[in-house]
Structure 1
Amino acid sequence: MKFINFVKQEIAVIKDRDPAIKSTMEVFLYPSFKAILKYRKAHKLFLKKHYYRARRISQKTARQTGIEIHPGAQIGEGLFIDHGHGVVIGETAIIGDNVTLYQGVTLGGTGKEQGKRHPTVGNNVMIGAGAKVLGSVTIGNNCKIGAGSVVLKDVPDNATVVGVPGRIVVLNDVRVADANDLDQVDLPDPVMNDIDELKTENDELKERIIQLEDKLNECRKANSK
């Protein structure tokens, strides 16, 4: 993609997904705009095996923006990083098209593995603030990862994941994430669901115990006559 076309695309992406933006000129002030722009430059150098120059660009950009993207990462079109401070994208991470990352997201490894050790993220994925996706896992297309979640296993297409560790709470019922679905709040809570189920079971057990005690008392009365 030519540089001018890339700039136009990034402007359109940011204006579409950030309701706070009021003018096109504001886009040039966004840390994510600068971080992605510099990543594209560093990635080209990385592919040409100019590793030091590529890393120098990425590290300087990380200090300036708070967004650390390794030049070896593979990133598709339409990436949007909202606010962005604390975002980390590892060397072997692969990101598809129309992906949205919020502040504090980590696409990282789990140790000193060799080879493919960072996540693969599909198309039309939203990853909420503070979420961690670790290891060589795959996040399918049209997925939503809730804020603060920790994902350590593969996630199929059309899934919503929340919790620590991440649990799938919606699958295939609806298209749960796309370029316009940026809601990080209205997600199911699997922990509260489990607590509610335990409360229901506890109430049922209490009712059953009361019934058994009543029968036992009736039997005792009958035997005492």
Structure 2
Amino acid sequence: MLQRLREDINSVFARDPAARNFLEVLTNYPGLHALLIHRLSHRLWQHNLKWLARTLSTFSRWLTGIEIHPGAKIGRRFFIDHGMGVVIGETAEVGDDVTLYQGVTLGGTSWNQGKRHPTLEDGVIVGAGAKILGPFSVGTGAKIGSNAVVTKEVPAGATVVGIPGKIVKRDEPDSAEALEVDPARREAIRQKFGFDAYGVSQDMPDPVARSMQAMLDHMHAVDERIERMCQTLRKVDASYRDGQLPELRDEDFAEILDDVDSGCSPAEREGTATSRQREPKPPARGNG
């Protein structure tokens, strides 16, 4: 019991630079108080002392402003920062090393019996005011931005923001080899914005600009692939017609490229500009 308490307190020191000493954390952190009371109420719930468990949970809510249903399953080193307004439903499951900020709701969208609330796997961080609603999983190491509303499964390592929640960063994006684009350019695109528990990063990309950038990447990859196919056909069949395609001039696309750059983060713009300078113009190919 004491070892578990020490572990919980050490997790506060690890994730809150404002924590100064053991006594301060033990006496002045409502997230820790709510967790300790929940461990007791959950044990009572498991022993079918449900009224007593709910009464203890209600007392914890009155004391800390944090409502955790005694039926919820909470893992080790769980940390609630500030905590006011946090609500965790009956069938919610929280893994190890999870962090929640104030105003977070782990709620349900159905009145049916059974699993109604989300499962947060190990290492998940949920920003202030976020709502995760429904019986699905949020993968290991995922991050939910502040005030996001998430109603569907989140893969491991992803970052989700917005209403409704949209994935803006994945742990393992498509490789440069698979997309056949300049590796430096792809690496720059990978450098998106960092997670902010209280708001939105200043470098948040414009979704429309990101979509256009993805389309340009795809067109570039398709162009290179078709060129290789034409070269192979010319080697196989000497009579294969070799024609000229209309020339694509950079100035014709200057305005579009500027719009794309304006919606990207500084790192993305720098990487894209570098790749344009290095990227050779594709040779003319046969039109078949």
Task: Judge same fold: TM > 0.5, yes or no.
Answer: yes
Which residue does 1:157 correspond to in 2?
Answer: 156
Q: Equivalent of 1:193, from 182, 207, 214?
A: 207
Segments of 5+ residues of structure 2 without an aligned counterpart are: 174-193, 213-252, 257-288
Runs of 4+ in 1 over 4 A off after TM superposition: 195-198
Partner SS, residue 161 of structure 1: strand
Would the aligned equivalents of 1:146 and 1:187 in 2 still touch at CA under 8 Å? no
Inter-partner Cα distance in structure 1 for 2:161 and 2:43 = 35
Which residue does 2:15 correspond to in 1?
Answer: 17
Is the strand fraction higher in 1 or 2?
Answer: 1
Which residue does 2:128 correspond to in 1?
Answer: 129
The CA deviation at 1:7 is 1.1
Inter-partner Cα distance in structure 2 for 1:67 and 1:38 = 11
Larger Rg: 2
Inter-partner Cα distance in structure 2 for 1:61 and 1:55 = 10
Q: What is the TM-score when the length of structure 2 is the normalising length? A: 0.63
Q: Which amino acid aligns with 2:208?
A: D
Partner SS, residue 11 of structure 1: helix
Q: Equivalent of 1:27, from 15, 18, 25?
A: 25
Partner SS, residue 164 of structure 1: coil
- State the identity as a percent: 47
The CA deviation at 1:197 is 6.3
Inter-partner Cα distance in structure 2 for 1:42 and 1:105 = 21
Which residue does 1:103 correspond to in 2?
Answer: 102
Partner SS, residue 133 of structure 1: strand
Which residue does 1:94 correspond to in 2?
Answer: 93
Inter-partner Cα distance in structure 2 for 1:126 and 1:187 = 20
The CA deviation at 1:182 is 7.2
The CA deviation at 1:44 is 0.3
Inter-partner Cα distance in structure 1 for 2:76 and 2:61 = 21
> Aligned-pair RMSD on alpha carbons?
2.5
Would the aligned equivalents of 1:142 and 1:158 in 2 still touch at CA under 8 Å? yes
Which residue does 1:138 correspond to in 2?
Answer: 137
The CA deviation at 1:73 is 0.3
Inter-partner Cα distance in structure 2 for 1:188 and 1:78 = 31
Segments of 5+ residues of structure 1 without an aligned counterpart are: 175-180, 205-225
Inter-partner Cα distance in structure 2 for 1:130 and 1:194 = 26
15-24 vs 75-84, which moves further: 15-24
